[in-house]
Amino acid sequence: MSTELHHLSDYNEQNVPDASNMCFGVVVAEWNPEITGALLDGTVRTLEKHGAIPENIHIKTVPGSFELIYGAQQMTKNDGFDAIIILGSVIKGETPHFDYICQGVTYGIARLNASQNIPVIYGLLTTNDLQQAKDRSGGRLGNKGDECAIDAIKMAKF
């Protein structure tokens, strides 16, 4: 569903399990820090809103979005996580680099989900411009970080 038709921060709170006994790993790309920082804020705020305690939210940073794959893979090796969330932002530029990064990260995270016993939640914004990224990281279309947190809680319970 298009984000234009679905506000990223809207969800039915009654359908969200209690996260007080859950532990989450979050891998955040340092590239586009204005966007990824806002995604992280939304993620942490929503996890805590649903019971996750701060000590059970473990945040690691990686240089860019492509490195999210390695960071998530390393976190899957830790027996203590119930779910892992990756957060990044790739904004289209003038070269095909955007396509390669987006495809690579998507494939890498899909591979982790198919091969590991811990859900890895895909929080990579892939936008045409900075304004679209701002709109989806706490702007007029909500915060993808909120959505990722809810997905992580639900998949951890799955």
Is 91 marked as a binding-site residue?
A: yes
Is 94 marked as a binding-site residue?
A: yes
Residues whose CB falls within 8 Å of the CB of residue 23, separated by 6 or more in sequence, listed in order: 56, 57, 58, 80, 81, 82
* Residue tagged active-site, from 6, 7, 58, 97: 97
Is 122 marked as a binding-site residue?
A: yes
Is 9 marked as a binding-site residue?
A: no
Are 102 and 68 in contact by the 8 Å Cβ rule? The answer is no
50 is catalytic: no
Q: Using CA of residue 5, residue 8, residue 13, residue 15, what is the dihedral sign? A: positive
Nearest to 9 by CA among 156, 157, 138: 138
Is 45 marked as a binding-site residue?
A: no
Binding site residue list: 31, 65-67, 89-91, 94-95, 122, 136
Annotated binding-site members for 5-amino-6-(D-ribitylamino)uracil? 31, 65-67, 89-91, 122
> Binding-site residues for (2S)-2-hydroxy-3-oxobutyl phosphate, please?
94-95, 136
Active site (catalytic) residues = 97
